[in-house]
Amino acid sequence: MKPHERILVGIDTPDMERARHIAERVRGLVGGIKLGMEFHNANGPAGVREIAGDTPLFLDLKYHDIPNTVAGAVRSAVTTCRPRIINVHASGGPAMMRAAVDANRDAAAKVGIAPPLMIAVTVLTSIDDADLAAVGQATPAGDQVKRLALLAKEAGCDGVVCSPHEITTLHDACGDNFTLVVPGIRPADAPEDDQKRKMTPSDAVSAGADYIVIGRPITQAADPAAAAKAIAESLL
């Protein structure tokens, strides 16, 4: 993979015009565009397809439901949005993840595309040990992340979303052929916004991140193309 192909730009807006403006500027300079619930719920699969164009799409809808429903959601998403990467919550359990993996493969074959990477979300970085305890889970967050990553691997998922500080642990636990998608990335000179456990793009890639998800440092920059180029150059 070329260095710039590791960059996925998170475009978080319900506004089609704004998304189009950013996508047009970063196309060809990065590895993909990430669209999530905010954009998808406002603009639907047709809007998602329009913004992705021929740029690889990370469809970040984080499914979590009974296996049959998640399988149906994955089939619909693969058919209508044609993502390169799609995701579910690992906490939905092994049967749900297996159903998602099978539906992903079947739907991709039906529409004649390569199966999107099926990525599992472990523990959201907004959740800490106290939040886990509040929902009846005594395990420290770090242990829970590793447990869910191993479960995702066993269920046939291609990788997980993790924080920069979990890269090394998960790389060691899950091996080379397990894709690590990493948000919480900030160039050294960028404001940290609400990302507390951040890492620079080059440090995250050196640590073993396969993809780095970057939102505001690119989308809020006066010149998103220049910001994307500078980050790509920092990876060389």
Q: Which residues bind ligand C5P (CB under 6 A)?
A: 10, 12, 36, 124-125, 161, 183-184, 193, 195, 213-216
Tell me if residue 196 is catalytic. no
Taking the least distance from each CB to ligand C5P, the nearer of 73 and 213 is: 213
Nearest to ligand C5P by Cβ — which residue?
Answer: 215
For ligand C5P, the closer of residues 77 and 181 by Cβ is: 181
Q: Residues 62, 110, 146, 196: which is the catalytic one? A: 62
Question: According to DSSP H, which parts of 27-174 are helical?
Answer: 37-52, 67-81, 94-111, 129-134, 141-154, 167-174
Q: Nearest distance from residue 166's CB to ligand C5P, in Å? A: 10
Residue 24, H or E segment: helix 16-26
Shortest Cβ 68–ligand C5P spacing (Å): 26
- Given the complex with ligand C5P, which of 57 and 108 has the nearer CB atom? 57
Distances in Å between the alpha carbon of 161 and those of 16, 41, 47, 174, 231? 26, 22, 24, 13, 20
CB of 194 to ligand C5P, least distance (A): 7
List the structure tokens of 98: 């297996």
In the complex, least distance from residue 56 CB atom to ligand C5P, rounded to whole angstroms: 16
Signed CA dihedral, 7, 76, 45, 115: sign only: positive
Q: Which is nearer to ligand C5P, 78 or 181 (CB)?
A: 181
Contact in structure between 18 and 228 (CB atoms under 8 Å): no
Alpha-carbon span 1 to 144, nearest angstrom = 30
**Catalytic machinery residues:** 62
